[in-house]
């Protein structure tokens, strides 16, 4: 299956920004799961391209002249390759054990630890995590607008609702409390459900010497409609756009992503 992606992020500021730096993890990489046919970033200035600590493609965009708006656009065509839910990790030099580390966004409380241990059985890890995923979605139904990006796993778990980012953070907290390495994944999702946004997040857990995918929001281990962008310990490591600025006053951010399937008859 081939997908076209158009993702535009626009920032506007009340006052001129003196200087800003944006960290962009908006470039997917070839893998056994996906083949990049074409991809480009349209930016308001030159960006430095490098690789971050997690192996993601990272562009650093610095604007050092006054500005009141930034427009960032990513677009391309990617082929999604059918296969199982076992993910081949192309960055073998990075030990999975680093993904046992908790962060402020994924730190489990007693309620999360109890929840994880209630459904996990060491003799059947994949099946246990799959059930845990389903039970978590029942306990935390998908509800857009009910949380903020700064909310931690314990807070959203107690609130009982959230979006893909929240589901992923709680699942990460569960896995790591069980001493299972797990990492946050950001990317895109192709779906005909208009209620769901095209930008998406899910989790990969290290079981039996392989990474396995868990899309909690959709209660599935299948990633046949997923395009992977970046991985990290949590949202802050893997989010597509993250930045800092001097000046500007209040900020308005608008992001729109469209993922469509290429007509195979064309």
Give 162: exposed, middle or buried? Use CB within 10 Å, 0-12, 13-18, 19+: buried
**215-225 pLDDT, tens digit each:** 999 999 999 89
**Averaged confidence pLDDT in the chain:** 92
Say whether pLDDT at 90 is over 80. no
pLDDT band at residue 266 under the 50/70/90 scheme: very low
Which of these, 168, 126, 133, 130, lies nearest to 147 by C-alpha position? Answer: 168
The pLDDT of residue 91: 53
The span from the CA of 146 to the CA of 236, in Å, is: 19
Q: What is the mean pLDDT of residues 102-115?
A: 97
Q: Of all residues in the chain, what percent carry a pLDDT higher than 70?
A: 93
pLDDT band at residue 19 under the 50/70/90 scheme: very high
**129-172 pLDDT, tens digit each:** 999 999 999 999 999 888 888 999 999 999 999 999 999 999 99
Q: Angle at Cα 241 formed by Cα 91 and Cα 56, nearest 5°?
A: 10
Structural domains in the chain, sorted by start? 2-80+241-261 (2.60.40.2250), 86-237 (3.10.620.30)
Which of these, 177, 202, 175, 178, lies nearest to 188 by C-alpha position? Answer: 202
Please say whether the dihedral angle defined by the alpha carbons of residues 32, 33, 37 and 42, taken in this order, is positive or negative. Answer: negative
The span from the CA of 206 to the CA of 212, in Å, is: 6
* Assessment of whether the complete model's pTM goes beyond 0.85: yes
Please say whether the dihedral angle defined by the alpha carbons of residues 112, 118, 119 and 122, taken in this order, is positive or negative. Answer: positive
């Amino acid at each position: 299956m081939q997908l076209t992606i158009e993702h535009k992020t626009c920032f506007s500021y009340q006052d001129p920004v003196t200087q800003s730096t944006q960290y962009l993890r908006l470039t997917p990489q070839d893998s056994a799961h996906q083949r990049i046919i074409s991809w480009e970033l349209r930016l308001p200035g030159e960006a430095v391209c490098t690789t971050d600590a997690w192996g993601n493609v990272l562009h650093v965009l610095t604007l050092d002249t006054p500005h009141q708006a930034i427009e960032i656009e990513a677009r391309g065509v990617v082929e999604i390759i059918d296969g199982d839910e076992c993910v081949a990790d192309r960055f073998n030099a990075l030990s999975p054990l680093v993904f046992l580390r908790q962060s402020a966004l994924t730190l489990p409380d007693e309620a999360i630890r109890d929840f994880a241990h209630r459904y996990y059985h060491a003799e059947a890890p994949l099946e246990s995590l799959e059930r845990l995923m389903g039970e978590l979605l029942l306990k935390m139904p998908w509800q857009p607008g009910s949380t903020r990006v700064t909310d931690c796993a314990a807070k959203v778990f107690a609130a009982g609702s959230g979006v893909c980012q929240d589901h992923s953070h709680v699942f990460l907290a569960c896995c790591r409390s069980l001493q299972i390495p797990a990492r946050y994944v950001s990317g895109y999702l192709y779906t005909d459900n208009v209620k769901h946004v095209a930008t998406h997040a899910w989790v990969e857990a290290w079981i039996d010497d392989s990474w396995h995918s868990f899309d909690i929001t959709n209660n599935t281990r299948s990633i046949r409609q997923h395009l992977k962008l970046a991985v990290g310990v949590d949202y802050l490591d893997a989010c597509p756009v993250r930045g800092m600025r001097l000046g500007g006053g209040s900020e308005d951010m608008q992001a729109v992503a469209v993922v469509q399937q290429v007509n195979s008859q064309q």
